[in-house]
Structure 1
Amino acid sequence: MDAVELARKLQEEATCSICLEYFTDPVMTVCGHNFCRECIRMTWEKGKGKKGRRKRRGSFPCPECREMSPQRNLRPNRLLTKVAEMARQHPSIQKKDLCKIHQELLKLYCKDDQSPLCVVCRESREHRLHAVLPIEEAIQEYKVKLKESIKHLRDEMMTIEKLQIKEDQTLKEWQEKVKLQRERILVEFEKMSLFLADEEQRLLTVLKKEEEETSEKLRENKAILDQQSHSLETLLLELEDKNEHSALQMVQVRQGDLCPLEENSLKTQYPEAVPTVLKTVCRVPGQIEMLKSFQVDVVPDVETAYPHLVLYESRQRCYLSSPVESTLRNRDRFLAYPCVVGQKTFSSGRHYWEVGMNLTGDALWALGVCRDNVSRKDRVPTSPENGFWVVQLSKGKKYLSTICASTPFTLMEPPSHVGIFLDYEAGDISFYSVNDGTHLHTYSQATFSGPLQPFFCLGAPKSGQMVISTVTVWVKG
């Protein structure tokens, strides 16, 4: 008898025939059969109500052989208690090694169902046609596959370990790069701060020198005028005094005393006019590049354009304007002068856009922002009071009266590209020359009362073109 069969026999001897589990507190009947004390008690309790089964008082049939056995004669089987404990602890005869249906050892393995079988299951209709092999062979195959899987997993673990080491090294290198870059940023911004401070001081020094030189010339001119005014006042008093003389005294006065200006060649000297146009410009290095980080794509709203305003989309190579007859019916269209607004409205945040210009001859344009509810039918001054914050770009000496009822900030020599920066929360609208980064003008106020739109206005036909993003705008002659 092999070890497996011996273990099976031991398992059978240690198993209660009622609960089919290992004995718990086993007892022996008179007939020599063993049961768990609780199992035999429950069996006899159930049999009390059945007539004809009890032959004598206090005796019950044995579940195995049906021989009558007195209930009080149940004897504990301590040896079987030890055997049951041994069977319970023995690894080769655990319940999992037995067929749950037939309580036989699982000696076979079904490859089709991938499950262990006992010899009884093998002959069943369910497994009769399946491929079956001894469980030892299946275990050997499984061990081979398991060994291959273990090897593969170990290889994978080694690969992952190498990758972990590499990633740790990469992380350290990355952190070192970030550290160096952080230090570089701090150093470069410190240098830029020092440079900007020096440039600020230089511009302030140049401005102060310009202020002092112009102020000195203006003071000199004022002193000359004061001196001549004093001399003229003295002569005027003398002449008025002589005017009080009698007629005879006047006749006796020399002609030179009567006409001091001609006799003494005293002439009024008017000082040369001092120009008061500032030469020192406000230019912050790198400011335009910084503002471009807030750049937005501004596109003119065709539905609001003046009827004779032509819009051409260069990217799509097509005209966006509508026929004049149909556009006049649009209540949102500008009718007072050649204007158009952007499609987007801004009620928060910071926004920057640029406008290109190609002026020809005398022209007047206006750029900036306006409230989204400004008057588009009437001719109103383009002033902040009416909801317009614009810079007027003028070339030549002609002005457009329909726009200039309240003249905004005007440039006589407008740049070819203008940048507009809106800081809604700060209440600022600033204008810059994109070519050299010069600050042109800033409107500042506490708050805006509503949404704002980019505003573009042309002066007259044949005055040039305005380029807004990819759209070219001009007035049809």
Structure 2
Amino acid sequence: MDAVELARKLQEEATCSICLDYFTDPVMTACGHNFCRTCIQTSWEKAKGKKGRRRQKGVFPCPECREMSPQRNLRPNRLLTKVAEMARQHRGLQERDLCPAHQEPIKLFCLEDQSPICVVCREAQEHREHRVLPVEEALREYKDRVKDRRERIMVEFEKVALFLAEEEQRLLRALKREEEETAMQLRNSKATLDQQRRSLDLLLLQLEDQSLREPLQMLQDMKGTLARKRNLSVQCPEVAVPAVVRTVCRVPGQRDVLRGFQEEVMPDPTSAYPYLLLYESRQRRYLSPLPEASTACGRDRFLAYPCAVGQQSFSSGRHYWEVGMNLLGDALWALGVCRDNVSRKDRVPKSPENGFWVIQLSKGKQPLSPGPTTPVTLTEPPSHIGIFLDFEAGEVSFYSVNDGSHLHTYSQAAFPGPLQPFFCLGAPKSGQMVISTVTMWVKG
């Protein structure tokens, strides 16, 4: 007998046949049957008032076998009291283990309906044609499936980890080769410059020596000196620019991972520069028409730059969004995040010290070396840029959506407070910026 059947038998033995509930103060009649004291007394009280054949006074029939039993012969059954208490506390007899429709133990699992059923349900029309398994077997099969899925996940992630490790080594080797090539170019350039310097020093010494001679002798030796000067070819060596790194970090699958944190970022029209137009393509309407002079100087509106911030404010978690760009001019744009309390009335450098973590975008301008007050500038910006904010890690990273390459990462111990997406355009007719379904440009 399995545990479920044993629990079922225990339930039957601990149940009163009158109230169909567990025994309360059980008593035994003369015929050996058990009932709750209240239940049997109530049953006999009702029998007193019924008309029928005459019975001996104080004698009543047993509700189960109908044998006559004197009322005074009810004996307490203390053992059954303990059994009933055990049945109440047995978790195998809780309501969740019984079929709600038939009050039978749930022993089967219907594979078609993916639901547990009892033996009575199995014979019903609803499940008669379905494939069923014992609950233990279905549970074992499910555990095997979970185990297989867990192993498959581990294998696939091991493959990805191995592939990423190999890709990491490949990129590091490429970067090492680039470093060695650049160093060799610099060494060759230095050797060429050293050789030319020595030749020029020698020629200079000869000229100084001849300048001390007599005029006639100096003129006689001048022909040879001028010939050596003509034969001395001073060449500028090829310039190697260490600041420009050709090897680009592209992590396969990175964009798919980042999109797991993607937000639908929307610019806030109430923060937009007065002449910054926002057009919502989904609703086909302007969000920020040119304000009147009286409303142009709102408390939250940017007045120093053609900027706007997002409606969202982030103070925890990881968040990712993408911005499309169509740059027409060479004016500087800026993109990233800013503190929610940055100055909106004054012109300040867009640097972390002032609450801005941004990259600048331009065409044709020489990149500026990042410094305490100078953001990173891209001279060949991609048409789409992804921004990833990891608030707890204190990082803001920028990626090219076009080829998946990493552009730049700001990193600090912690952010000073809530951050908002930040968008800043150049002068009029310098292009457009697209955030989600909103297009922004500066009115000319």
TM over 0.5: yes
The one of 385, 397, 413 aligned to 1:430: 397
Any residues of structure 2 matched to 1:337-356 within 5 Å, and which? 337-356=305-324
Q: Relative to structure 1, is the Cα distance of residues 389 and 97 closer, same or farther in structure 2, using a 3 angstrom cutoff?
A: closer
User: 1:202 maps to what in 2?
Assistant: 170
Any residues of structure 2 matched to 1:316-395 within 5 Å, and which? 316-325=283-292, 326-395=294-363
Check the 8 A contact 2:270/2:300 in 1, yes or no.
Answer: yes
Check the 8 A contact 1:206/1:280 in 2, yes or no.
Answer: yes
- Look up the equivalent residue of 2:185 and give its one-letter code: K
1:399 Cα deviation (Å)?
10
User: 1:282 maps to what in 2?
Assistant: 249
Distance in 2 between the 1:433 and 1:395 partners? 16
Distance in 2 between the 1:398 and 1:206 partners? 26
1:157 Cα deviation (Å)?
5.0
User: 2:208 maps to what in 1?
Assistant: 240
Distance in 2 between the 1:97 and 1:334 partners? 86
Check the 8 A contact 1:106/1:118 in 2, yes or no.
Answer: no
1:328 Cα deviation (Å)?
1.3
Q: Relative to structure 1, is the Cα distance of residues 153 and 338 closer, same or farther in structure 2, using a 3 angstrom cutoff?
A: closer
- Look up the equivalent residue of 1:159 and give its one-letter code: V
Check the 8 A contact 1:98/1:106 in 2, yes or no.
Answer: no
User: 1:259 maps to what in 2?
Assistant: 226
Any residues of structure 2 matched to 1:12-31 within 5 Å, and which? none
Check the 8 A contact 1:363/1:396 in 2, yes or no.
Answer: no
The reply on whether 1:184 has 2:146 as its aligned counterpart is no
Q: Name the SS for the 2:231 alignment partner.
A: coil
Check the 8 A contact 2:312/2:420 in 1, yes or no.
Answer: yes
- Look up the equivalent residue of 2:376 and give its one-letter code: F
Distance in 1 between the 2:337 and 2:215 partners? 74
Please tell me the root mean square deviation across aligned C-alpha atoms, in Å.
3.5
The reply on whether 1:443 has 2:410 as its aligned counterpart is yes
Check the 8 A contact 2:277/2:290 in 1, yes or no.
Answer: no
1:273 Cα deviation (Å)?
2.6
User: 1:302 maps to what in 2?
Assistant: 269
Q: Relative to structure 1, is the Cα distance of residues 198 and 249 closer, same or farther in structure 2, using a 3 angstrom cutoff?
A: same
Q: Relative to structure 1, is the Cα distance of residues 319 and 398 closer, same or farther in structure 2, using a 3 angstrom cutoff?
A: farther
Check the 8 A contact 2:351/2:372 in 1, yes or no.
Answer: no
User: 1:158 maps to what in 2?
Assistant: 119
Q: TM-score, normalised by structure 1?
A: 0.65
User: 1:416 maps to what in 2?
Assistant: 383
Deviates more, 1:272-281 or 1:419-428: 272-281
Check the 8 A contact 2:367/2:379 in 1, yes or no.
Answer: no
1:190 Cα deviation (Å)?
0.7
The reply on whether 1:269 has 2:235 as its aligned counterpart is yes
Any residues of structure 2 matched to 1:465-476 within 5 Å, and which? 465-476=432-443
1:377 Cα deviation (Å)?
1.2
Check the 8 A contact 2:275/2:290 in 1, yes or no.
Answer: no
Q: Relative to structure 1, is the Cα distance of residues 333 and 242 closer, same or farther in structure 2, using a 3 angstrom cutoff?
A: same
Identity %: 61
Deviations 1:51-75 (A, max 9, x none): xxxxxxxxxxxxxxxxxxxxxxxxx
Check the 8 A contact 1:298/1:343 in 2, yes or no.
Answer: yes
- Look up the equivalent residue of 1:368 and give its one-letter code: G
1:176 Cα deviation (Å)?
1.8
1:160 Cα deviation (Å)?
4.8
Q: Give the helix-richer structure, 1 or 2.
A: 1
Deviations 1:187-236 (A, max 9, x none): 01111111111111111111111222222122111111111011111211
In our comparison, the structure showing a higher alpha carbon Rg is 1
Q: Name the SS for the 2:434 alignment partner.
A: strand
Q: Relative to structure 1, is the Cα distance of residues 406 and 118 closer, same or farther in structure 2, using a 3 angstrom cutoff?
A: farther
Check the 8 A contact 1:364/1:459 in 2, yes or no.
Answer: yes
- Look up the equivalent residue of 1:388 and give its one-letter code: F
Q: Name the SS for the 1:340 alignment partner.
A: strand
Q: Relative to structure 1, is the Cα distance of residues 189 and 399 closer, same or farther in structure 2, using a 3 angstrom cutoff?
A: closer
Q: Relative to structure 1, is the Cα distance of residues 157 and 417 closer, same or farther in structure 2, using a 3 angstrom cutoff?
A: closer
User: 2:196 maps to what in 1?
Assistant: 228
Distance in 1 between the 2:239 and 2:356 partners? 35
Distance in 1 between the 2:248 and 2:159 partners? 23
Check the 8 A contact 1:366/1:457 in 2, yes or no.
Answer: yes
Q: Relative to structure 1, is the Cα distance of residues 435 and 105 closer, same or farther in structure 2, using a 3 angstrom cutoff?
A: same
1:312 Cα deviation (Å)?
0.9
Deviations 1:292-351 (A, max 9, x none): 111222111111100000001112211110432243130221111110011112222211
Distance in 2 between the 1:414 and 1:428 partners? 21
Q: Name the SS for the 1:298 alignment partner.
A: coil
Check the 8 A contact 1:382/1:389 in 2, yes or no.
Answer: yes
